[in-house]
Structure 1
């Protein structure tokens, strides 16, 4: 099991834009927690420093604000977060493009104001991806590489021909 610090190091230094291979649950979820914490901290910093810009208003007149620091940090963390998601799906022997498909369907559903695309495509794929991210990875080697928890475990097949 990977620690919080190891997950950050792996995702930001060693595998920043590595979409191949596999990621254990601990690697993915520790890094995800890191991104959430960084998001909270940068939002607080934006509010304290006043680095929010007005990008519109909500229907009841409340301002829509975009934090400059939060936006920059989110852009920096986007690639490693997407890469870790792809690698995590690979650990379940699923293509990482399920994550991309969910994002595209959500964006299209919102842009086209289509409830069908949004609910069936976007949310359906999102729930599927979330379940895949939560479940344990395949034991042994799969189509995407060696088991990150036990790299020397072979192919995971108990019936070796």
Structure 2
């Protein structure tokens, strides 16, 4: 596993040759773990800040409505931080995975432009997310906690509005999964000799 990670990290700009399924999937697992740890850490920090602010407001004698409004304001900041964190990590993960995915495509005797399509769609999804950050923060700030039914209706309408861009982000993931598990071509192919299984 560690050899597969080292191999991919030392070949970040190398789109020639082939990588076996095991090499590709060990590396993808490593990237998924890094992404999950980053997201978890970011959530703990941002969520902890909201909790500390709420406890401080309660200790200072604020009423329940003021505490709830303070929490909603903190949620807006948390959304901004987590969305920007997601944008940065998605961009980095895309760049870290592009060459490896290309070599994996070559191993199954598929052209590398499929990786270009996946990267392009992922970058489009990242751009759409950047465009939504300000609106999402404003939307959360506009929610009124004293009317839970109206708040739930507003959240559902907002979710529906952005469903298409959310679906777009799944297309590159599906491409990586489908072509990542595609069987290797036996022996040498036009992209090079059969790779070692790291």
Q: Please state which band the TM-score falls in when normalised by the shorter chain.
A: 0.5 to 0.7
Indicate the residue corresponding to 1:147 in structure 2. Answer: 194
Alpha-carbon shift at residue 103 of structure 1 (Å): 4.7
List alignment gaps of at least 5 residues for structure 1.
52-61, 151-161
TM (normalized to structure 2)? 0.52
**2:4 is the counterpart of 1:7:** yes
Residue by residue, what CA displacement relative to the aligned partner does 1:79-132 show, whole Å, maximum 9, x if unpaired? Answer: 231111000000011111112224546749xx7x9x8xx89xx95x87566433
**2:142 is the counterpart of 1:95:** no
List alignment gaps of at least 5 residues for structure 2.
48-74, 129-161
**2:64 is the counterpart of 1:48:** no
Alpha-carbon shift at residue 42 of structure 1 (Å): 0.2
- Map residues 122-133 of structure 1 onto 2, 5 A cutoff: 123=171, 130-133=177-180
**2:22 is the counterpart of 1:26:** yes
Larger Rg: 2
Q: Which structure: greater helix fraction?
A: 2
TM (normalized to structure 1)? 0.62
RMSD: 3.5
Larger RCO, structure (CA 8 Å, separation 6 or more): 2
Q: Which structure: greater strand fraction?
A: 1
